[in-house]
Amino acid sequence: MRFEATKIPGVWIVDVERHEDERGFFARTWCREELARLGLKAELAQCSVSFNAEAGTLRGMHYQAAPREEAKFVSCVRGAIYDVALDLRADSPTYRQWVGVELSETTMRMLFVPEGCAHGFVTLTQNALVHYQISAAFSADHARGVRWNDAAFRIAWPREPRAMSKRDATYPDFAP
C-alpha cells in the first residue's frame, strides 16, 4: 500500500499496489504493521458496507463521540463516490477543514479517516458499494453528525445530492 499524506494530520489517501498476472490481480487493503508504523489506529473491530442505488446519494457527515471514537478505512468496491473527511478535533491545526477524494472500483483508492474526524460521501454513479474497515464497534449512543452543507465547513461537493436521510439533512448548524 502507498500512503499519501493530506493537509489534515492523520487523514491519508491510500493506493493499493496490485500484483498482476494472467488470472487478474491481488492487492492488500489492510496491514496492521504499516498502519502502526505511520502512527495510525491499527485495530480492526468491525467491517461494514453501504449500498447506494442512485447516483447523488449522500451519506454523512458522521462520527462517534468519546469515548467510542472510531477510525475508518473507506473504499468503493463498486461504482464511484466523492469521499470527504472533516477535521472536528478542536486542538488540531486543521480544525474545521476538509479533504475530499474520488474513490472508485477502477482505482481502488482508499481514504483513512482518523478518530475525531467526521466522514461522508456522495455517490457519483448508480449502484455504488462502499466498504468500511472500522476500529471500534458502532454505538448508537455515541453516533453524531454535522450537516453536509453547513457554512462552517464550506465543503465543495462535486454534485448536488439527490437523496439523503432526514437525519443527515437536518443536523443543526455547527456550534464549536
- In this structure, what C-alpha cell is assigned to residue 43? 485495530
End-to-end Cα, the chain, rounded Å: 36
The whole-angstrom separation of Cα 55 and Cα 123 is: 5
For residues 110 and 126, give the distance between their C-alpha atoms in angstroms, rounded to a whole number. 19
Active-site annotation holder among 62, 63, 82, 119 = 62
Query: Is 82 among the residues known to form the active site?
Result: no
132 catalytic per annotation: yes
Task: Measure the CA–CA gap between 111 and 70, rounded to whole angstroms.
Answer: 14
DSSP state of 92: S
The one catalytic residue among 131, 132, 142, 171: 132
Catalytic residues: 62, 132
